A and B are shown apart, each in its own frame.
Chain A
Amino acid sequence: MSVAVQPSQKRTSFKRLAFNVACILICTVMLAPLLMSLSASLKSPSEANLVPPTYLPSVYSLANYAKVFNYQVGLVTYVWNSLAAAGLSIAMCLMLSVPAGYGLARYNFRFKEAWFLFLVATMMLPFQALLIPLYLMFAKIGLANSHIGLALVHTVIQLPFSIYIMRNSFEGVPKEIEDASYVDGCRSFTSLRRVMLPLVMPGVVTVALFAFINSWNEFLAALIFLNNEKAFTVPILLVSVRTGIQGAVDWGALQAGVMLSVVPCIAIYLLLQRYYVSGLLSGAVK
């Protein structure tokens, strides 16, 4: 009896060990680049530019962060601007994609799939190509050099994905729940607001998260649409602060910049993790 059990037990515990080792190895490989960047950002500026490089700082220094913090009008202004654009972009994405997702998931009308394709086809365009026509249009109607204008551009980029997620999210809600709300006398919009919306919260959070990431990191449209240092966003700051004459790169400032870009995204990711992971899980499978 014990002879029959032992080999399979050994195999299982070996498999479990191999599994654990594989997971830990993978986690290390995935995290290592970010940790290395963090460590480099804490080096002194001259050590950060050292050839060949050191793995860890010999002396810890916040000089790189100080440089980024104090650049031109100061990091705080740039962060405010980035948050403004991101906030507006999130709001716009949600206001457009939630109703659109609901309509696509729950109703049937003529050419429904064609309209869906129309809304989602933007994903196939290189958005860089649209920037100049959009900029010329915005300049004419006075939206250039404003964060609303920038947020509109960011929404253009994010909308197809957002609609896709929301549609799948709504499709994942069992019909019975909604039908029950109608029996209780709810009209369509009330049903959407009171009953459906809370149920698709994971999808909503996913949309918000990706809209934030996209807007926070976006460089080219921000550079073209904004005209004044006081309005610039974080990505523009980070390119200027690390580039010297003839393209010489201040590696320490580059690392500090990468960290400053990455930390808010990771923070929001961790905070909302259970929402959007299940959002993608429940929603985007179809």
Chain B
Amino acid sequence: MSLTHRPSTGFAYLLPAIAFTAVFVLYPLLQLVYFSMTDKSLMGGGGYIGIANYVRAFNDKAFWQALRFTLLYTAFLTPLLMGLGFLLALLTMRNSPLPKLTRGIIFLPVVIGLGSSSLLWFWLFDQQVGLVNRLLVDLHIIAQPLAWFTAVGTGFMAICFSITWKVVGFAMILFVAALQSIGQEMEEAAIIDGASYWQRVWRIFIPLSRRTLLMATLISAIGSMLAFDQFYIMTGGGPRGQTFTTVYFVYQNSFVFFKLGYGAALSIILAAIILAGSTLQVWLSRRSAGS
């Protein structure tokens, strides 16, 4: 039996994926690193300039603005998604018909594309033809149709609302899985001991879903740091460039201004930040789990 569990066999199974990643991810990434040290442009030309792009990024106010905005967006949305996802999981964790149906419907927006979802909400929030304004006016909540995307606050809210609609189902399903794997006995014991529902949530459900919570938080945070489509489609970076995210900013530099070199440097910086943040989160969670 130990013969068929040779380590090299295991590695052999991994080889196709490793080869693929090496050719189609690592190699372009190395090229990107090379570009980042040149002033290559899509309009031709570009010579070696060392770390000039990185120095430029360090001094680029617009880049820091985009980064700050992205961090703010991540910091706001991640707890919202995790909290709401967990609450929805608590609501629908039983396997009787109505909770199962609700689960299925909450998950539905996850399977449509992000582009389709952003367009859908772009239309709904449009000041002139959008139904959100029509509804709010009809319900007398606001007097005049709101221009959602001309102010950072309302634009931010609109985007967060639309993204929550789109992805909360994914978090919910992960948490339902975690909750369902906890098992009845522990909960029943707690009920016998007189614990109220919320005490059970706080003392049993949350601690025992810890690993899922952390993993979901990590994935959600990375996704938010890399956000692009929804801002591109819904706000166009406005008003006055205040809703550019980091990836959007990279897109502008690489694809619109044709500055491939600078765009490459910005991408590397962003990837490094995400890597650092993820490592930190994993390390912190391992440490607290150990204690």
A–B direct contact (CB < 8 Å): yes
* A212 closest partner in B (C-beta): B111
Residues of A within 8 A of B5 (CB): 106-107
Contact B129 A110 (CB under 8 A): no
Cα(A217)–Cα(B120), bound, Å? 14
Contact A107 B13 (CB under 8 A): yes
Given known pairs A100-B17, A130-B29, A285-B174, the reply for A156 and B24 (CB within 8 Å) is yes
Q: Which residues of A contact B (CB under 8 A)?
A: 19-20, 22-23, 26-27, 29-31, 33-34, 36-37, 40, 48-53, 55, 95-97, 99-100, 102-104, 106-110, 112, 115, 118-119, 121-126, 128-130, 132-134, 136-137, 152-153, 155-156, 159, 163, 179, 182-183, 187-188, 191, 209, 213, 216-219, 235, 251, 254-255, 257-258, 261-262, 265-266, 268-269, 273, 277, 280-282, 284-286
Contact B120 A33 (CB under 8 A): yes
* A116 closest partner in B (C-beta): B14
- Give the A-B contact count at a CB cut-off of 8 A: 241
Contact A118 B21 (CB under 8 A): yes
Contact A265 B10 (CB under 8 A): no
Contact A36 B131 (CB under 8 A): yes
Cα(A156)–Cα(B180), bound, Å? 33
* 5 new A-B contacts at CB < 8 Å, known A124-B278, A132-B254: A104-B10, A124-B275, A137-B28, A216-B113, A265-B113
Contact of B32 among A48, A130, A269, A282 (CB under 8 A): A130
Contact of B91 among A22, A100, A128, A277 (CB under 8 A): A22
Contact A108 B7 (CB under 8 A): yes
Contact A255 B123 (CB under 8 A): yes
* A191 nearest CB across to chain B (Å): 8
Contact B112 A261 (CB under 8 A): yes
* A126 closest partner in B (C-beta): B247
Residues of A within 8 A of B10 (CB): 103-104, 106-109, 112
Contact of A97 among B17, B124, B278 (CB under 8 A): B17
The SS class assigned to the A binding surface is helix
B288 interface residue per 8 A CB criterion: no
| Interface positions of B from 119 to 150, Cβ below 8 Å from A | 119-121, 123-124, 128-131, 133-134, 137, 145
Contact of A188 among B9, B104, B128 (CB under 8 A): B9
Contact B260 A53 (CB under 8 A): no
Cα(A130)–Cα(B267), bound, Å? 9
Contact A118 B116 (CB under 8 A): no
Residues of A within 8 A of B111 (CB): 209, 213, 265-266, 268-269
Cα(A163)–Cα(B18), bound, Å? 11
Chain B CB within 10 A, most for which of A107, A118, A159? A107
Query: Can you identify 20 A-B contacts, CB atoms within 8 angstroms?
Result: A29-B165, A34-B112, A37-B123, A55-B134, A99-B17, A107-B7, A108-B10, A109-B8, A125-B267, A126-B228, A128-B247, A130-B28, A155-B20, A159-B20, A216-B113, A261-B112, A266-B111, A280-B173, A281-B177, A285-B178
* A53 closest partner in B (C-beta): B129
* B177 closest partner in A (C-beta): A281
Contact B7 A51 (CB under 8 A): no
| Interface positions of B from 86 to 125, Cβ below 8 Å from A | 88, 91-92, 98-99, 101-109, 111-116, 119-121, 123-124
